[in-house]
Amino acid sequence: MPSNAAEDEPERSEDKDPKGHKAESSEPGPDASASRERKQKKQRSFWKELPILIVVALVLAFLIQQFLARVYMIPSGSMEQTLHGCAGCTPDRILVDKITYDFTDPEPGDVVVFRGPPAWIEGDLPPEESDNAVANFFQSIGSVFGLAPPDERDFVKRIIATGGQTVECCDDQNRVLVDGKPLDEPYIYWQGAHEQAEFDPVEVPEGTVWVMGDNRNNSSDSRYQGDGGARGAVPVDNIIGKARFIVLPPSRWGTVSDHNPQAASASAMSAPAWQQGVPLGIGVLAAWPTLLVGRRLGAAVRGTVRRGR
């Protein structure tokens, strides 16, 4: 009886050798072919999904940096040696917590990043921009992720006094006074003479803070901006967030000191340490849901792409 090819194939694949064992077929079976097809399809799917995953990751990172935390590059040496930004060194990248001041008020000792108020930037020239639109785009993206300097009108300083307090310099030991009491400032870095310039008493306006650099003799801060006095104070509304961690370079990893220089006189009024840590705890807890939502969003996008093919 004649047989067709479909019937002949299994007979050849199951031929027996002289000892009676079945000979293995050199032709791949249907399972192997299907496995190869699935593997090739999976590889193609990965490269199709990769641009979508990159976009989703960038959007999530942008939202996190806009509303929760952002990385900033330190452009100058005014906060040495707490924060590196000196010429010839690798500048620090710091993580700035943007939600802390939604729950608490800025306090003395906090290192903050803020937008320069009008009195600070009124005499400045507009930041120079490249004529190359592509270069400007990547500069903007880089500043968002801490890979390039931020807007030149953003500053980083330490809060010395808050609204309603009176600040002046100096006592007979060359210390800044707030409400007549000397400050404890172990973070000061003396570049040159161990003596800071004197200034008359200034009552810090309500809703503002008085800021100074840790590199005390090399910092253009509230003492000088706006010709000094009350115009040098920074509105609380201009504060972007509190510097929490040094994230780069790895050799500089660590927290940013927020030593309260008024601690000796304010200890009776300060909140317990566990209460001061509440905003940071909330930020840490919020990180996990954000990551989970990002993963689910990515899975949903991948599912949509598969159904569309």
Candidates 144, 82, 148; CA nearest to 109 is: 82
- Residues linked to residue 248 through DSSP beta bridges, in sequence order: 93
The answer for 227, left when phi > 0, alpha when psi is -120 to 50, beta otherwise, is left
Handedness of CA 233, 164, 109, 243 (dihedral sign): negative
Residue 222 appears among annotated catalytic residues = no
Q: Is the bond leading into 81 cis (omega within 30 degrees of zero)?
A: yes
157 noted as active-site residue: yes
Residue 97 three-state SS: strand
d(CA 14, CA 234): 87
What are the residues whose beta carbons fall under 8 Å from the beta carbon of 147, sequence distance 6 or more?
73, 141
Q: Which of 157, 219, 222, 242 is catalytic?
A: 157
Rounded Cα gap, residues 87 and 163, in angstroms: 34
Task: Collect all residues with Cβ–Cβ distance below 8 Å to 30 and sequence separation of at least 6.
Answer: none
CA dihedral 217, 220, 221, 227 (to 10 degrees): 120
Reduced to 3 states (helix: H, G, I; strand: E, B; else coil), residue 227 is helix
Distance CA(245)–CA(250), nearest Å, equals 12
Structure tokens at 229: 């006095």
Task: Residue 259: name the closest of 270, 250, 248 by CA.
Answer: 270
Catalytic, out of 78, 143, 219, 222: 78
Q: How far is CA 82 from the centre of its chain?
A: 17
Q: Dihedral sign for Cα 269, 166, 218, 189, please.
A: negative
**Residues classed as catalytic:** 78, 157
